[in-house]
A and B are shown apart, each in its own frame.
Chain A
C-alpha cells in the first residue's frame, strides 16, 4: 500500500481486492479533484474583475452538457461493474467458500463471545469451547464466522481483514475470511451499542498451521 495512507496492514485474501479498488477510486477522485480545482483557480484569476472588462454573455452549451453527462455516466458504470464481483465474493451468501474452520461469534454489551465447536466439530454439544473476546484461527484457511447478537446491534470489525458486518439480535449472519499472515490483531465494535461501546474490544490471533494444532490440543484436548 501507499505509505502516505495509514491503512492498517492488510492480511486477508479479499482485502487485496478491497485495497486495490480503494486505490483506483483514490486516483480517479484525486485526478478529478485536481483538474476541477486547477480550473476553478485559473478561472478565478483569469476572469477576476478588472476595469474595462465586461463579462461574456454565455447561456450554456448543450454540446458540453451532453459530453460531461455521458462521460460521468460511463465512468460511474465502469466503476460499478468493477465492484460487483468483489462485493459478491466477500458478502454474497450464495458464494461463500467452503469453510475449514467455523466459529460462532455472539455479541453482547460489551463483549464478543466466541464459541468453538470443540473436538467433535459440532456446535451445541458439551465439548464446545467458549472464550471471551479471543478469536483464534489458522493461517491460510477459510474461516466462517456465524455472527449474532443477544441484545442490540453491534458491528464486527476486523480492520486488518477489511471485514465488517453488523451483528443483529435473533439473526445469524455468516461471513468469511482467509488470513494470510500470522500475528495478533484487534477486533473492534463499529456500531454504537451503548455507553461502553468504545471498550468493546476483541483480539484476533492468527496461528500458523502447527501453532493452531498446538493451541487446539491445549484448549480442547481430544477426549
Chain B
C-alpha cells in the first residue's frame, strides 16, 4: 500500500522533470518519463559503488553529506551543551545539595557511612591518591562555585559556536544552498570539507579543555578581560587558552564556509534564478555568510590578542597604573563581533520559518521584497548596535543615546517580518503539520524575545535589568524560542529530502508539545526573576536576602529544564531511528515549489539530472485560474497544470 502511494506520487512528480528535459531540447517529453523514473534508481546504485565508505561518509566532498555531518555534529553538541545546563540548573534549585544519581547520600556526607552505590564510588575516589576530576569539580556530587562558572561558560560557548551556528549555517547552509539555487555542488567542495573538519578539530580541543589542570574556561562565554586575560584571577590556566584556540579554529571554519556560500550564491544560480527569485532561506543564509565573513575576523583578532596576553605577557586587555591596555577594548572587539553573531543566530531561523509558513498556508509569502529588505536592514543595523551590551560598562555614557536609538530601530525590520508572517497566514489554508507547528512557535517566541529586547535597549531601564535573568530570558527566547524551533521544524521538513524518509510524526508531535510547554515554563519565569533583580551567573542565589523569595521559582525552572532536556532525547531518538526505520518519503511530500524538491530522493551526487531552469519566484501557491495550488519554480510557462493535492 505504502509502496503504491509512493509510486503514484513519484509519477506525479516526474512531470516536473519537464523543464529540465525541455531545456535540453528533448522533444518527446511524455515518452521519457517512465524511463526517467527508472533511471533515477540506476543512477543511485552507480554511486554506491563508485565511492568508498571513507569518501562517502567521512571525507566527503558532497555538500549534502557535509550538511548532514554538520547536522549530526550540531545535534550531538546540543546534548553536551544541554547536559551542562541541567547540571548548573540543579545547583541553582538546590544549592550545595549533591546532584541525583551520581551524588553521595546525605548520610555519607554527614557521617561517612556508605549507603548507596554512589557512596562507594566517592569512597574510592577519596581514597585514591590521585586527584580525581570528579573530586576537584564536584566533591560528593556538589557542584563547586568554580565548576559552576565553568559549566555556564561552556554551556553558552557550546550552544552558540558548536550547535546553533553549525546547524543553521553548516547543516542547512550546505544542504540547501546548492539544491535550492539549482546547482550541482558548492563552488569549493574541498574548502567545504575543510570547513567541517576544522569544526571537528575545534570541538575536540574545546572538549579537551574540561580535563586539563585548572579546569575549563570560567570567564563566561563573553570572556571579559581581565578575568580571562590572567590565570591569577580564575585559577584557570590552559582551559582558557584552549577555549581561545578552539574558537580561533572554529572562526576559520566559519570563514571558509562563508566564502564558499557567498561565491556559490553569486555565481552558480540556475538559469532564471534571479536574486529576487531566491527562496528567503537562501537570502538569509547569503546575508549571514556576509556577516560571518566580516564579523569573525574581529573575534579572531581579539582572541589572538587574548592569547598573547595570557602566554606572551602583553597587556592588550589589562591595565596597570602606569598604562597598558584597556579591559574595555576586549568588550568593544567582542561585541563588535558578538552582535552580528546574534543575527547570525537568528536570520537563518527567520529564513527557515519563511519557507515553511507559505508552504503550509498554501499562499505566497506576504511582502517578499520587504522580507528581503528587512533582513538586509537587520544585518546592517547589527553593525552599529554593539554598544548596547556595554551601557553599564563604563563606556562614555553619552554614547548610550546613539546605541539606544540604533538598537530600538531594529524593532522596525523585526516588526515588518512579524507582520508579513501574519500576512502570509491571512486567508491561507493552513496545514498544521509538525514543521508548521514549529514555525508558528518560532513566530510567537520571536515576538516575545523581540519585545523583551526593547526593555534592555532602553538605557535607563537597562541600568536595572542589565546582568540579571531578564537578559538570560531574552537571549533564550531569541535563540532557543527562535532559532532552535526553526531548526527543529527545518529538520523535520527537510528530513525526507536528506534521508529519503519521514521522521516519525507521533514522536515529533510529542517532542514539539513537550518542548513548547517546558521551554516556556523554563524561560518565561526568568523574566520575573530579572524583574526581582536576580543576577545572572551566581551559583547560589540564596546568599542574598532579597532573592530568598525566588527559590521556589528557581526550583520550578529547574524542573521545567529537566523536562525540556528529556524532550530533546525524543528528538535525538527519532532523528537516528527514522534514518533506517522511518516511513519512506516520496520526492516532494509537502508539494513545495522550490528546486530542492525537484531533485530525486535520495539526492544523488550532482543533485540534478539536468540543471533546472527557473521560471518564477519560489512562492507561487494557489495562483488563481490554476488547477493545482502549487507551481514549481522549474515548471515552464503555459505547461499543463500539474501537481495538486
Chain A residues with a Cβ closer than 8 Å to the other chain, count? 85
Of the residues A8, A60, A186, A195, contact of B367 by C-beta under 8 Å = A60
Q: Does A153 contact B (CB under 8 A)?
A: yes
Q: Is A192 a contact partner of B224 (Cβ separation < 8 A)?
A: yes
Which residues of B (166-218) have their CB < 8 Å from a CB of A? 218
Q: Does B149 contact A (CB under 8 A)?
A: yes
Q: Does B508 contact A (CB under 8 A)?
A: no
Q: Is B532 a contact partner of A91 (Cβ separation < 8 A)?
A: no
Contact mask for chain A residues 10-43; partner B; CB cutoff 8 A; 1 contact, 0 none: 0000000110011001001100110011011001
How far is A191 from B540 in the complex, measured between Cα atoms in Å?
15
Q: Is B454 a contact partner of A36 (Cβ separation < 8 A)?
A: no
Residues of A within 8 A of B362 (CB): 49, 54-55
Q: Is B233 a contact partner of A194 (Cβ separation < 8 A)?
A: yes
Query: In angstroms, how far is the closest chain B Cβ from the Cβ of A16?
Result: 11
Task: Give the segment of A113-121, A138-146, A163-171 that binds chain B.
Answer: A163-171
Q: Is A195 a contact partner of B535 (Cβ separation < 8 A)?
A: no
Question: A7 and B531 in contact (CB under 8 A), knowing A59-B368, A60-B370, A170-B321?
Answer: yes
Q: Does B274 contact A (CB under 8 A)?
A: no
How far is A54 from B629 in the complex, measured between Cα atoms in Å?
8
Which residues of A (154-170) have their CB < 8 Å from a CB of B? 155, 157, 159-160, 162-166, 168-170
Q: Is A198 a contact partner of B539 (Cβ separation < 8 A)?
A: yes
| Most chain B beta-carbon contacts within 10 A, residue among A8, A80, A109, A185 | A80
Of the residues B327, B397, B459, B535, contact of A188 by C-beta under 8 Å = B535
Query: In angstroms, how far is the closest chain A Cβ from the Cβ of B338?
Result: 16
Question: A192 and B537 in contact (CB under 8 A), knowing A36-B447, A152-B233, A186-B545?
Answer: yes
Residues of A within 8 A of B368 (CB): 59-60
Query: In angstroms, how far is the closest chain A Cβ from the Cβ of B425?
Result: 4
Question: A79 and B408 in contact (CB under 8 A), knowing A49-B430, A64-B419, A192-B220?
Answer: yes
Residues of A within 8 A of B13 (CB): none
Q: Is B416 a contact partner of A65 (Cβ separation < 8 A)?
A: yes
Q: Does A196 contact B (CB under 8 A)?
A: yes
Q: Is B320 a contact partner of A43 (Cβ separation < 8 A)?
A: no
Q: Is B361 a contact partner of A47 (Cβ separation < 8 A)?
A: yes
Residues of A within 8 A of B444 (CB): 36-37, 40
Q: Does B566 contact A (CB under 8 A)?
A: no
Q: Is A153 a contact partner of B543 (Cβ separation < 8 A)?
A: no
Which residues of A (73-131) have their CB < 8 Å from a CB of B? 73, 75-77, 79-80, 83-84, 86-88, 90-93, 109
How far is A38 from B508 in the complex, measured between Cα atoms in Å?
26
Task: Give the segment of B33-41, B62-70, B255-263, B399-407 that binds chain A.
Answer: B399-407
Q: Does A180 contact B (CB under 8 A)?
A: no
Of the residues A25, A162, A193, A196, contact of B227 by C-beta under 8 Å = A193
Q: Does B495 contact A (CB under 8 A)?
A: no
Residues of A within 8 A of B149 (CB): 192, 194-195, 197
Which residues of A (52-67) have their CB < 8 Å from a CB of B? 53-61, 64-65
Q: Does B460 contact A (CB under 8 A)?
A: yes
Q: Is A68 a contact partner of B327 (Cβ separation < 8 A)?
A: no
Residues of A within 8 A of B146 (CB): 195
Query: In angstroms, how far is the closest chain B Cβ from the Cβ of A130?
Result: 20
Residues of A within 8 A of B577 (CB): none
Question: A49 and B447 in contact (CB under 8 A), knowing A68-B419, A72-B412?
Answer: no
Q: Does A210 contact B (CB under 8 A)?
A: no
Q: Is B327 a contact partner of A168 (Cβ separation < 8 A)?
A: yes
Chain B residues with a Cβ closer than 8 Å to the other chain, count? 95
Q: Is B467 a contact partner of A201 (Cβ separation < 8 A)?
A: no
| Most chain A beta-carbon contacts within 10 A, residue among B368, B432, B459, B463 | B463
Residues of A within 8 A of B145 (CB): 195-199
What residue in chain A is nearest B620 (Cβ atoms)?
Answer: A57
Q: Is A169 a contact partner of B461 (Cβ separation < 8 A)?
A: no
Q: Does B94 contact A (CB under 8 A)?
A: no
Question: A190 and B532 in contact (CB under 8 A), knowing A29-B451, A69-B412, A76-B412?
Answer: no
Q: Does B464 contact A (CB under 8 A)?
A: yes
Residues of B within 8 A of A163 (CB): 463
Q: Is A49 a contact partner of B431 (Cβ separation < 8 A)?
A: yes
Residues of B within 8 A of A195 (CB): 144-146, 149, 218, 234-235
Q: Is B404 a contact partner of A87 (Cβ separation < 8 A)?
A: yes
Q: Is B427 a contact partner of A55 (Cβ separation < 8 A)?
A: yes
Q: Is A54 a contact partner of B226 (Cβ separation < 8 A)?
A: no
Of the residues A58, A87, A186, A197, contact of B397 by C-beta under 8 Å = A87
Q: Is B367 a contact partner of A65 (Cβ separation < 8 A)?
A: yes
How far is A93 from B405 in the complex, measured between Cα atoms in Å?
20
What residue in chain B is nearest A6 (Cβ atoms)?
Answer: B532
Q: Is B423 a contact partner of A80 (Cβ separation < 8 A)?
A: no
Residues of B within 8 A of A166 (CB): 392-394
How far is A55 from B623 in the complex, measured between Cα atoms in Å?
9
Q: Is A47 a contact partner of B428 (Cβ separation < 8 A)?
A: yes
Residues of B within 8 A of A155 (CB): 392, 467
Question: A80 and B405 in contact (CB under 8 A), knowing A68-B415, A153-B227, A201-B543?
Answer: yes
Q: Is A92 a contact partner of B398 (Cβ separation < 8 A)?
A: yes
Query: In angstroms, how far is the closest chain B Cβ from the Cβ of A209?
Result: 26
Q: Does A151 contact B (CB under 8 A)?
A: yes
Q: Is A56 a contact partner of B363 (Cβ separation < 8 A)?
A: yes
Q: Does A48 contact B (CB under 8 A)?
A: yes
Which residues of B (463-485) have their CB < 8 Å from a CB of A? 463-464, 466-468
Residues of B within 8 A of A56 (CB): 363, 426-428, 622
Which residues of B (132-182) have their CB < 8 Å from a CB of A? 144-146, 149
How far is A75 from B226 in the complex, measured between Cα atoms in Å?
39
Q: Is B425 a contact partner of A18 (Cβ separation < 8 A)?
A: no
5 contacts between A and B (CB under 8 A): A49-B432, A61-B366, A64-B419, A90-B463, A168-B394
Given contact pairs A54-B622, A153-B393, a sample of 20 additional A-B residue pairs in the complex whose CB atoms are under 8 Å apart = A5-B531, A18-B460, A37-B447, A40-B425, A55-B621, A55-B629, A59-B364, A60-B367, A76-B412, A80-B404, A80-B405, A152-B227, A153-B227, A166-B394, A188-B533, A190-B468, A191-B467, A194-B149, A194-B234, A199-B540
The 10 closest A-B pairs by CB, nearest first: A60-B367, A198-B538, A159-B533, A56-B427, A190-B467, A195-B146, A91-B397, A86-B460, A29-B451, A55-B622
List residues of chain A with CB under 8 Å of any chain B CB.
Answer: 5-8, 17-18, 21-22, 25, 28-29, 32-33, 36-37, 39-40, 43-44, 47-50, 53-61, 64-65, 68-69, 72-73, 75-77, 79-80, 83-84, 86-88, 90-93, 109, 151-153, 155, 157, 159-160, 162-166, 168-171, 173, 185-186, 188-199, 201
